Structure 1
């Protein structure tokens, strides 16, 4: 598996997804090696931005309790991974296709990677730039969900089922993301 194959994940339902499936990555390995380290990026960078940027970035941004907010955000991100893996498995199982738990958690671990990496945009003190980067990351996450479900479902005709399941998972993902953002700005 090389970088070129990984960069194809959001755009193709074959190749890299099947290679990842063939490796049979365990759920604990995904959690420890991928989810945990990348889940640290948004809280750390949000803490940095909150403690270094002033009110020019966003009104009310500088005066928040960033230690508390970022700790809760980190824990919520970890919980979201486990809930999304379960949700992906449940939704796909209800669509007359088959996906095992390991593959469901593989999609749950890989889909938020663009969102986690989009937190690097917080190093640039521009709200408009950050919003654009987050929307691009959300689009990439959606395509990762669709192509991951399409590739990993064990059904010969999975395109429509994968699209239907992906829409359900995306809706739940957006709801979880919105709740995380509300939680961040509420404190």
Structure 2
């Protein structure tokens, strides 16, 4: 963070939705692995039973929304887990710690809500920096073909019960 820059992380609000939609689109326009529908996924997840308002967060710098993260409900067997998707930061603000700050705040809130695991399909370079490991190391298997190094999980609680099985994402995915 540059000196004089103030960042605040808070829960998204209804009046943020249009800005978030544009932010997600801009963040993924230049992404290497993107389908161009990430902003539609955010909208669909908000309307689903798997939406967790406390885990839909924005990062503001000097009052401007520059980042967004969403965690939604998923299951592994009988266990409810979280799926992190998407994580978006405006291109001009990437590589400044905003995404990491959003992940860490999301993890903190998820722990408070009693969740034990988070799964992400993402960059094998980025997510291990914040503690993610190949999901199969934690007993979680993807429901589709994906490189092992891109399907990762994070154990929020060191005393979490062991789980094993295929993750079932919200149908909106």
TM-score class normalised by the smaller sequence = 0.3 to 0.5
| Larger strand percent | 2
TM-score by length of 2: 0.35
- When Rg is computed on C-alpha atoms for both structures, the one with the higher figure is 1
Q: Which has the higher helix share?
A: 1
